């Protein structure tokens, strides 16, 4: 019988995912899907003494993740530190420069520096794998990069941030405002102490930028993403959208057209029966539209120790199997950033909420202004809200170019009977 190779794994970052990985490997010493076995032979984290649900006293400790990444005792480097720069980037670069395979869950690093890291990895013949960076336990990265390489993907779109999805779901279910639900999510440990990356839409933007690169065979272009988070989503909009037959979700999308690629993250309305509207709580969900395959829909846990550690373990299995393929579907040397499409040219349906004085002629003035601007109304709802300063009227439009819609909003905002800036939300195109 041939001896199985033991791969010595250095793990930097012992937060939720690191803890999940160490627990998994400790409980499954026989994890050898590709013949080899993985054994953690070194760890690094910010604090050695922080209480943890597992014992690291028997493992070699490295204060400096770069030293762990380049140690002669490390065959594979697993980066679970996080952050687009700083120690995570330094350690990944050091491991790749030394020709060592790298597995990471770091979406910010891959979205912002993926092209240069891919070039480094490929020049050294070292795999750089990041299944856990997008949708946690759902194998979105492998699906787009590998399983769908025989198709031409036209678009990817979905819910890529569990924290935002949880907050929006709770707001609707309990009738509480954003700030209150966020504070509770932080108390329960569902949201980070600094929630900016999640609620600001940046985490979802990192993930959709990675999916866009994999789907369209280009370098990630995070800087080109148009990003709006959920902090401005009001309970009133959630309730009015529901009255109109929609649910508000933070939707991240990447669409390819002959003009280039449009990457956006926005709170968007999905029809109540739509699979995206049905994906509640912390679930992630994704639609992929291929020219030959048609539509694919996947849904599952986008975060958490177990699912994310499973994704890291799947990448370790690829390393042990010796699978080396281009980091972003096409070789790094042939990757260029995609051409961003001007979002003002995009065409879609919209939801507009206005707060108006309750007096004769207001609705006529609003619809006349929209008609003059070339925006066609699809549905209209006026609702009496007690204790509100004005009366909310809400309408949905037929498909219209964003530049036309924005110009119409400016004109509406200047009508004397309109009390606040109109609230614009897009209606999801999927």
Is the CB of residue 192 less than 8 Å from the CB of residue 145? no
Residue whose pair of structure tokens reads 């194998």 in the numeric block? 139
Kind of pairing between the strands at 423-427 and 260-271: parallel
Token pair for residue 22?
Answer: 């160490």
| CB nearer ligand HSE, residue 143 or residue 167 | 167
- Any idea what DSSP says for residue 418? B
In the three-class reduction of DSSP (H, G, I as helix; E, B as strand; rest coil), residue 423 is classed as strand
- Name the active-site residue from 89, 107, 207, 249: 207
| CB nearer ligand HSE, residue 172 or residue 198 | 198
| CB nearer ligand HSE, residue 206 or residue 353 | 206
Token pair for residue 285?
Answer: 């969900």
207 is catalytic: yes
| CB nearer ligand HSE, residue 114 or residue 162 | 162
Main-chain phi, psi angles of 384, to 5 degrees: -85, 120
Q: How near is the Cβ of 163 to ligand HSE at its closest, in Å?
A: 3
Main-chain phi, psi angles of 171, to 5 degrees: -55, -45
In the three-class reduction of DSSP (H, G, I as helix; E, B as strand; rest coil), residue 99 is classed as coil
Main-chain phi, psi angles of 117, to 5 degrees: -70, -35
Q: How near is the Cβ of 294 to ligand HSE at its closest, in Å?
A: 27
| CB nearer ligand HSE, residue 227 or residue 373 | 227
| CB nearer ligand HSE, residue 34 or residue 311 | 311
Long-range contacts of 190-194 (CB under 8 A, 24+ apart): 190/163, 190/166, 190/282, 191/163, 191/166, 191/167, 192/163
Q: How near is the Cβ of 302 to ligand HSE at its closest, in Å?
A: 5
| CB nearer ligand HSE, residue 136 or residue 217 | 136
Instruction: Give 2-37 as a DSSP string.
Output: PPPPEEEEEEE--SHHHHHHHHHHHH-TT--TTS-E
Distance of CA 190 to the CA centre of its chain: 16
Is the CB of residue 271 less than 8 Å from the CB of residue 253? no
Instruction: Taking each helix axis as running N to C, give the angle between helix 362-373 and helix 402-413, from 0 to 180 degrees, rounded to the nearest 10.
Output: 150
Q: How near is the Cβ of 420 to ligand HSE at its closest, in Å?
A: 30
Binding site for ligand HSE (CB under 6 A): 161-163, 198, 203, 302-303
Token pair for residue 234?
Answer: 């009001």
Q: How near is the Cβ of 110 to ligand HSE at its closest, in Å?
A: 12
The Cα–Cα gap between 128 and 102 comes to 5
Q: How near is the Cβ of 303 to ligand HSE at its closest, in Å?
A: 4
| CB nearer ligand HSE, residue 285 or residue 303 | 303
Main-chain phi, psi angles of 230, to 5 degrees: -110, 0
The Cα–Cα gap between 285 and 393 comes to 31
Q: What is the dihedral of CA 13, 19, 22, 23, to 10 degrees?
A: 180
Tell me which residues are annotated as active site.
207
């Amino acid at each position: 019988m041939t001896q199985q190779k033991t791969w010595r794994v250095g793990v930097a970052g012992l937060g939720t995912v690191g803890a999940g990985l160490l627990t998994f490997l400790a409980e499954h010493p026989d994890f050898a899907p590709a013949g080899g076995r993985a054994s953690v032979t070194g760890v690094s984290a910010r604090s050695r003494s922080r209480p943890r649900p597992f014992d690291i006293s028997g493992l070699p400790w490295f204060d400096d993740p770069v030293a762990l990444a380049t140690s002669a005792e490390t065959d594979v480097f697993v980066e679970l530190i996080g952050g687009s720069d700083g120690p995570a980037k330094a350690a990944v670069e050091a491991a790749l420069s030394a020709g060592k395979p790298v597995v990471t869950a770091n979406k910010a690093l891959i979205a912002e520096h993926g092209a240069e890291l891919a070039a480094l990895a490929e020049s050294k013949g070292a795999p750089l794998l990041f299944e856990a960076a997008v949708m946690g336990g759902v194998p979105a990265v492998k699906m787009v990069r590998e399983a769908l390489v025989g198709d031409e993907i036209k678009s990817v779109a979905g819910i890529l941030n569990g924290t935002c999805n949880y907050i929006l779901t709770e707001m609707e279910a309990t009738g509480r405002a954003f700030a209150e639900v966020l504070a509770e999510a932080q108390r329960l440990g569902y949201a980070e102490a600094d929630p900016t990356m999640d609620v600001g839409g940046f985490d979802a933007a990192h993930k959709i930028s990675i999916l866009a690169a994999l789907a369209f065979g280009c370098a990630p272009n995070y800087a080109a993403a148009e990003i709006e988070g959920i902090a401005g989503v009001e309970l009133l909009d959630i309730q009015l959208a529901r009255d109109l037959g929609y649910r508000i979700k933070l939707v991240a999308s990447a669409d390819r057209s002959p003009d280039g690629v449009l990457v956006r993250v926005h709170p968007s309305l999905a029809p109540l029966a739509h699979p995206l509207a049905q994906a509640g709580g912390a679930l992630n969900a994704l639609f992929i539209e291929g020219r030959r395959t048609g539509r694919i829909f996947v849904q599952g846990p986008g975060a958490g120790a177990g699912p994310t550690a499973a994704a890291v373990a799947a990448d370790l299995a690829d390393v042990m199997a010796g699978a080396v393929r281009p980091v972003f579907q096409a070789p790094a040397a042939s990757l260029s950033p995609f051409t961003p499409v001007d979002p003002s040219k995009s065409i879609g349906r919209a939801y507009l909420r206005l707060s108006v004085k309750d007096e004769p002629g207001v609705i006529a003035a609003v619809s006349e202004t929209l008609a003059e601007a070339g925006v066609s109304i699809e549905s209209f709802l006026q609702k009496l809200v007690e204790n509100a300063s004005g009366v909310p009227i809400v309408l949905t439009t037929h498909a219209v170019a964003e530049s036309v819609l924005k110009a119409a909003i400016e004109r509406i905002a200047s009508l004397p009977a309109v009390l606040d800036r109109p609230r614009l939300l897009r209606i999801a195109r999927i």
